[in-house]
């Protein structure tokens, strides 16, 4: 999607350029979101993200914890990276 392209450019390509890096491969993966560890003040701001996880079909791995990693995608990226080095 356009949003993913924008995020990749902002957080990967632009950072690599800023620090004069020339990586052989870049990508972004999901992560673990543990709403139990978020401060009450910050939780108010990020609560909408929790709803997005639920809407996207991510399930709680334990109460208040969402794992948004795609392990198949991570494995594929690692295999392709290994071919390059």
Q: Is 49 within a domain?
A: yes
φ, ψ of residue 66 in degrees (nearest 5) = -125, 130
Q: What's the confidence (pLDDT) of residue 79?
A: 97
Q: Whole domain around residue 48: which residue ranges?
A: 30-69
Kind of pairing between the strands at 60-62 and 32-34:
unpaired
Q: Is 63 within a domain?
A: yes
pLDDT tens sequence across 61-70 = 999 899 999 9
- Record the pTM: 0.70
Q: Is 18 within a domain?
A: no
**Number of structural domains found in the chain:** 1
Q: Is 10 within a domain?
A: no
Q: Is 44 within a domain?
A: yes
Say how many CA atoms lie within 13 Å of 70 toward its Cβ.
Answer: 9
| Exposure b/e, 30-68, CB count within 10 A at least 16 = b | beebebeebeeeeeeeeeeebeebeeeebeeeeeeebbe
Q: Is 58 within a domain?
A: yes
pLDDT tens sequence across 9-57 = 888 999 999 999 999 999 988 899 898 998 888 887 788 778 888 888 8
């Amino acid at each position: 999607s356009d949003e993913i392209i924008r995020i990749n450019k902002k957080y990967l390509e632009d950072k690599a350029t800023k620090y004069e890096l020339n990586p052989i491969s870049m990508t972004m993966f999901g992560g673990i979101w543990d709403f139990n560890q978020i401060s009450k003040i910050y939780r108010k701001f990020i609560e909408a993200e929790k709803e997005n996880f639920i809407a996207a079909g991510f399930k709680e791995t334990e109460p208040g914890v969402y794992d948004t990693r795609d392990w198949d995608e991570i494995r594929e990226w690692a295999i392709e990276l290994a071919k390059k080095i």
